[in-house]
């Protein structure tokens, strides 16, 4: 299994990249259908771009978990990897904008793909450090990590409809927040 981790992560990058790209446009393609809004991008805010990374990565992690039962800390690795990837989107975006003053669309697209790649590369490193925890300890850790991922997912959904009026949620094109 350890020899195939890199292949799995490459597939994860492809799924996340394709899924995130599709979700970027799906809300508009479906005539701004509210049923797709919780998981798709509803505007061009940094927060919405983070959502485009989260949901495809989570779906891939659910599938991947069926094949990674030998990895004691699978969900710990996924929680760390996904939060790492999510963090890179605003870090790169705001750093770049702070230095240059604006961000062309192709840079924003590149930021998404770089963050996804960084996430899966980081996870490869973490999978290489697989720990042999006790079964009892693994169960609690697994539940805590799954709960944390669920909280992140719920926040993405809630903030789609009840959007705080702070910078990360602001659509730079329209100046609006949320839907």
Q: How far apart are CA 57 and CA 76, in angstroms?
A: 14
Higher pLDDT, 157 or 102: 157
Find out whether 44 and 171 touch, Cβ atoms under 8 Å: yes
Q: Tokens 């492809």 appear where?
A: 14
Please state the rounded mean pLDDT for residues 140-151: 94
**94 vs 84, more confident:** 84
Determine what percent of the chain is predicted with pLDDT higher than 70. 93
Gap between the Cα atoms of 109 and 126, Å rounded: 26
What pLDDT, in 10s, does the model give residues 15-74?
999 999 999 999 999 999 999 999 999 999 999 999 999 999 999 999 999 999 878 789
Rounded to 10 degrees, the C-alpha dihedral 103/83/122/120 comes to -70
Average pLDDT, the chain: 91
Give residue 130's pLDDT: 65
**What one-character DSSP code corresponds to residue 47?**
H
Residue 12 burial by Cβ neighbours in a 10 Å radius (0-12, 13-18, 19+): buried
Max distance between CA atoms of the chain, in angstroms, equals: 52
Q: Which of 29-38, 79-88, 126-135 has the lowest mean pLDDT?
A: 126-135
pLDDT for 108 equals: 84
| Domain residue ranges of the chain, discontinuous segments joined by + | 2-169
Q: How confident is the model at residue 134 (pLDDT cuts 50, 70, 90)?
A: very low
pLDDT at 83 over 60: yes
More confident residue, 84 or 104: 84
pLDDT-derived band of residue 131, with 50, 70 and 90 as boundaries? Answer: low
DSSP string for residues in 13-82: HHHHHHHHHHHHHHHHHTTS-TTTTTTS--SS-HHHHHHHHHHHHHHHHHHHHTT-TT-TTHHHHHHHHH
Predicted confidence at residue 97, as pLDDT, reads 80
Q: Supply the pTM of this predicted model.
A: 0.90
Euclidean distance between CA atoms 142 and 3, whole angstroms:
24
């Amino acid at each position: 299994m350890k020899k195939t981790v890199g292949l799995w992560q490459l597939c994860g990058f492809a799924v996340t990249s394709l899924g995130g790209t599709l979700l970027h446009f799906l809300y508009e393609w479906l005539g701004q259908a509210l049923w797709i809004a919780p998981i798709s991008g509803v505007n061009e805010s940094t927060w919405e771009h983070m959502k485009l990374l989260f949901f495809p990565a989570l779906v891939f992690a659910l599938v991947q978990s069926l094949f990674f039962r030998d990895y004691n800390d699978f969900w710990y690795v996924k929680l760390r990897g996904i939060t790492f990837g999510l963090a890179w989107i605003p870090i790169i975006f705001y750093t770049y904008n702070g230095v240059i003053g604006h961000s062309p669309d192709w840079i924003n697209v590149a930021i998404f793909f770089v963050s996804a790649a960084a996430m899966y590369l980081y996870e490869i490193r973490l999978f290489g450090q697989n720990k042999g925890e006790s079964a009892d300890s693994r169960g609690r850790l697994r539940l805590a990590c799954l709960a944390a991922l669920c909280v992140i997912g719920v926040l993405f959904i809630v903030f789609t409809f009840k959007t705080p009026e702070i910078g990360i949620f602001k659509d730079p094109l329209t100046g609006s927040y949320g839907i």
